[in-house]
Amino acid sequence: MQRALTSALRLTRPWRPLQACGYASHGTARDPEIQVRSLAGPDQGITEILMNRPRARNALGNVLVSELLEALAQLRADRQVRVLIFRSGVKGVFCAGADLKEREQMSEVEVGVFVQRLRGLMNEIAAFPTPTIAAMDGFALGGGLELALACDLRVAASSAVMGLIETTRGLLPGAGGTQRLPRCLGVALAKELIFTGRRLSGAQAQALGLVNHSVAQNEEGNAAYHRARELAQEILPQASIAVRLGKVAIDRGMEVDIASGMAIEGMCYAQNIPTRDRLEGMAAFREKRPPRFVGE
């Protein structure tokens, strides 16, 4: 697997900034705070969003939030995106949470508007049509963990540190944490973690079911990213329409009673029936060969 991963790393398209260049408040051009890369070769279909705001430890400020929203809007319309990975370009950090230094300069009204935008960002991540994976190779605190919770799957280095620590700052989670953590871990455990502001290692998070996988960190500091990429590689060969509809059925079904959820599953299943991929899957099974799905 490592040899395949190493060779695959050579078959990538370069990082690209967003199409619209960002500008600082004084009007001069600035470097983008995220970069987007679509992988090629055997990893074609995997797209990565790399957060790269080193001086602020990838804290979620106005610019970073705007760039993430713009990237999601562009990628949502790209049918070539089969799996989306969120990762960090800052060693030792996934995302340190909301930018509290920036927030100190805001009025109460401005704070309310910003938190609403932050909540909207997490909703956009959660509603992204294809599977999303958070690769947490370092600190994921407050809004950083809320971003990861908005993803479908989470992978963490065992040495990563994560938690909804807002109560230790006189706040409460405001970007979906009070809703997504209980749905992930159950009400009692979520209350304990939020009330105490406790921090967890990647290994502890896996034991609780907060992350799908926890891996030992490597010298490069990107072990979680490599595991996330392997996980994405497992998703790639599957029928993309079935995967998308499966995500819809799960996400919408979890919000209703089981009878309504069964109805949602039935509607999603019905949409999948006429696809070429379903017919190809049946033919491949009958002919005892691997299926060749085309996303139609």
Task: Point out the residues that are catalytic.
Answer: 98, 143, 146, 166
Q: What separation in angstroms does the CA of 10 have from each of 5, 43, 144, 174, 204?
A: 9, 11, 29, 40, 34
Q: What is the DSSP string of 238-254?
A: S-HHHHHHHHHHHHHHT
CB 65 within 8 A of CB 56: no
Question: 224 by DSSP, 3-state: which?
Answer: helix
d(CA 202, CA 266): 37
d(CA 156, CA 94): 10
How many CB atoms sit inside 10 A of residue 237's CB?
13
Give the residue from 252, 284, 248, 243 showing the smallest Cα distance to 45.
243
